[in-house]
Amino acid sequence: MNNTQIKAEAMANVARMHIECGEVLERLSKLLAFSITQDFFALPLGQQKLMKEQARKMEEYLSILLVRVSSILGSLGDLGKIAIPSEFEG
């Protein structure tokens, strides 16, 4: 695989992770919004704790995805200068 192919594949991976980040962020936002409603506080404490833990894990997952994106973009710099869309710059 040549540098151009490597860059194209890497940017395709970054694009997929970018979409995934958006999807997870949307679900996390909905969960966090729900967690401050009366319906949330009406749930059994065990369910509340599980949902809070779920939110923490989703935040952790997002953090890992962003590190992966940053790592890929950083490694592309080693292959020479390429144009990186501003939405992917960290």
23-81 pLDDT tens trace: 999 999 999 999 999 999 999 999 999 999 999 999 999 999 999 988 888 887 655 45
Domain annotation covers residue 47: yes
Domain annotation covers residue 86: no
Count of domains forming the chain: 1
90 pLDDT tier (thresholds 50, 70, 90)? very low
Which of the residue ranges 5-9, 22-26, 79-83, 85-89 has the most confident prediction, judged by mean pLDDT?
Answer: 22-26
Domain annotation covers residue 27: yes
pLDDT at residue 89 is higher than 80: no
- pLDDT at position 86, please? 54
- pLDDT at position 4, please? 81
Domain annotation covers residue 32: yes
Burial of 24 (0-12, 13-18, 19+ CB in 10 A): middle
How far are the Cα atoms of 15, 35, 56, 79 from residue 32, in angstroms, in the given order?
A: 26, 5, 10, 40
- pLDDT at position 8, please? 86
Domain annotation covers residue 35: yes
Domain annotation covers residue 88: no
Domain that holds residue 17: 3-81
Domain annotation covers residue 87: no
Domain annotation covers residue 31: yes
